[in-house]
Amino acid sequence: MLNLPTTFCQKYRDLLGEGQAEELFAAMADAPQKAYRINQLKSFQQVSYSQARPVPGISNAWYGQVGGRDPEWVSGTVYSQEPAAMFPAYSAAVQPGDRVLDLCAAPGGKSTAIGEALRGQGLLVANEISASRAQILRENIERWGIANALVTSAAPASLAAQFPQFFDKILVDAPCSGEGMFRKNPAAAQYWSQDYVLTCQRRQQEILLAAVKMLKPGGELIYSTCTFAPEENEQIVSWLVEQFDFQVQPLALRGVKVASGRPEWAQGETCLSQTIRFWPFDGLGEGQFVAKLRLPGQETQPCPSPKKKLAKPKIPQGGLTRSEQELVATVLDYFTLPTCLAEWANRSRVSHGHVFIPVLPPANLHVKVVNNGSELGLLKKNRFEPGHQLAMLLGQVKQERVIDLSAAAYLSYLHGETLPVKTALRGFVLVSYHNFIFSFGKVAGNGILKNFYPKGLRILKKD
């Protein structure tokens, strides 16, 4: 049973009126809504979940529950996401070729949707200030098969120094007081206070000051929170409009029951009614606020393709030598390569043995980089060991060199065990369960499948 603080209840009685406030409290006591998205980068796969109830307004998303061990999840074919939380990335209307920043990105629900929409063209910078959460963000982006993301872990102000007026679109899915998530996480309600709401507001303004510096003239800012508090929603948008002349853009959501932002909860600007609010009593999902704002200035120019931008120097810095290329080819030549890996030999760089295809020139980056583009694997003495991101990228297309495991073998593999396998294949193979590719493995001469599922992702035996 959700135990809401008295001051919280009184605040929403004052704002919404007695009747609607009671509707809100009743809805907050209901079970949270669960949903999932299907990855269009891996769309040839058939998932096992029901597709009876689509999430309105979002293509490729359905209500339903996904398990953390399901091969659909482990292979990056589905992402479990609260339905209302799908709308900020959708509202960004990202096009292939855009340069997009997701400034507060972990665990990556919105970054995976943005990276998917880019279809390998343009750039996603996915940033997360917390180092540990940035690792989870990296894992999720990797699992989703996104080749053109730069994952960073920086404070927004440091990122702004690196990328002045750089992005066409910036999503700020701000840290907030989280009122809209109380029914998912009832314990959080106990820490609510009006002071905390105001602390969040100040932090949001700080983050947005940095975001504005990184937006190109004419660029778009998508601001979202999962709280009901006007101080963190309409009042923030009102401040952005006043400080920077932003124009609030209408959000056209077809077939979705959604409420408008409330001008009277800020300075009364009518444009605030073009922001949107998801209330749990409207039935779609949890609480969410979304605003889309355009910075004045020239329309954004289509960005130069990464290829043009990353003009190739005559002697590429950190490029692969002929013999290194040959070592990498001893693995890659056995697989069908998706478009994102085309011309890998010319585009790859090597740093401390790590072979990767950068999405931005590494030498120019002066922030903490967690992953730059696509990591292919590790050069060791006279051999190349393919990395997990490569397996996730190869999973975008049908592969022949795959070992499909039984249910028991799949679990053992997730635990990190080696397995005996009946196959004529030798050397590096992709490993799947129910045909969902989720790892590399290596078959030794004695028919033992060595485990290449990353240690950090393995499931402990007692779980």
Ligand X SMILES: C[S@@+](CC[C@H](N)C(=O)[O-])C[C@H]1O[C@@H](n2cnc3c(N)ncnc32)[C@H](O)[C@@H]1O
Q: What are the residues whose beta carbons fall under 8 Å from the beta carbon of 76, sequence distance 6 or more?
A: 39, 42, 142, 143, 144, 145, 392, 395
Considering only residues 97, 175, 318, 416, which one is a binding residue for ligand X as defined by CB under 6 A? 175
Name the residue with tokens 């996480």. Answer: 185
Question: At its nearest, how many Å lie between ligand X and the CB of residue 251?
Answer: 18
Strand order in the sheet with 383-386: 349-351, 354-357, 374-380, 383-386
Q: Is 130 in the site for ligand X (CB under 6 A)?
A: yes
Cβ pair 377, 452 in contact under 8 A: no
Considering only residues 105, 170, 376, 414, which one is a binding residue for ligand X as defined by CB under 6 A? 105
Count CB neighbours of 187 within 10 A.
Answer: 8
Q: Partners of 378 in the beta sheet?
A: 354, 385
Q: What are the residues whose beta carbons fall under 8 Å from the beta carbon of 94, sequence distance 6 or more?
A: 100, 114, 117, 118, 169
Strand order in the sheet with 61-63: 61-63, 35-38, 78-80
Find the part of the chain contacting ligand X (CB under 6 A) among 127-135, 192-200, 347-355, 453-461.
127-135
Considering only residues 57, 83, 108, 377, which one is a binding residue for ligand X as defined by CB under 6 A? 108
Count CB neighbours of 40 within 10 A.
Answer: 12
Considering only residues 71, 83, 109, 122, which one is a binding residue for ligand X as defined by CB under 6 A? 109
Residue closest to 348 by CA, chosen among 370, 379, 369:
379
Q: Partners of 36 in the beta sheet?
A: 62, 80
Q: For this structure, is 226 an active site residue?
A: yes
Nearer to ligand X, 110 or 143 (CB): 110
Q: Is 76 in the site for ligand X (CB under 6 A)?
A: no
Q: What are the residues whose beta carbons fall under 8 Å from the beta carbon of 411, sequence distance 6 or more?
A: 69, 459
Q: Is 123 in the site for ligand X (CB under 6 A)?
A: no
Considering only residues 57, 115, 156, 377, which one is a binding residue for ligand X as defined by CB under 6 A? 156
Site residues for ligand X, 201-220, by CB under 6 A, read 203, 207
The tokens for 54 are 């689509």
Considering only residues 168, 173, 286, 375, which one is a binding residue for ligand X as defined by CB under 6 A? 173
Q: Is 290 in the site for ligand X (CB under 6 A)?
A: no
Q: Is 357 in the site for ligand X (CB under 6 A)?
A: no
Catalytic residue among 200, 226, 271, 303: 226
Question: At its nearest, how many Å lie between ligand X and the CB of residue 219?
Answer: 19
The tokens for 229 are 């508090």
DSSP string, 142-186: HHTT-SSEEEE---HHHHHHHSTT-EEEEEEE-----GGGTTTSG
Question: At its nearest, how many Å lie between ligand X and the CB of residue 254?
Answer: 22
Q: CA torsion, points 369, 370, 371, 376, in degrees to nearest 10?
A: 130
Q: Is 35 in the site for ligand X (CB under 6 A)?
A: no
Nearer to ligand X, 13 or 368 (CB): 368
Q: Is 197 in the site for ligand X (CB under 6 A)?
A: no
Considering only residues 83, 107, 377, 395, which one is a binding residue for ligand X as defined by CB under 6 A? 107
Rounded distance between C-alpha atoms, residue 19 and residue 39, angstroms = 41
Question: At its nearest, how many Å lie between ligand X and the CB of residue 220?
Answer: 17
Site residues for ligand X, 219-238, by CB under 6 A, read none
Q: Is 133 in the site for ligand X (CB under 6 A)?
A: yes
Binding residues for S-adenosyl-L-methionine: 104-110, 128, 173
Q: Is 47 in the site for ligand X (CB under 6 A)?
A: no
Question: At its nearest, how many Å lie between ligand X and the CB of residue 272?
Answer: 21
Nearer to ligand X, 86 or 341 (CB): 86
Question: At its nearest, how many Å lie between ligand X and the CB of residue 203?
Answer: 5
- Which positions are catalytic? 226
Residues that bind ligand X (CB under 6 A): 104-110, 128-130, 133, 156, 173, 175, 203, 207
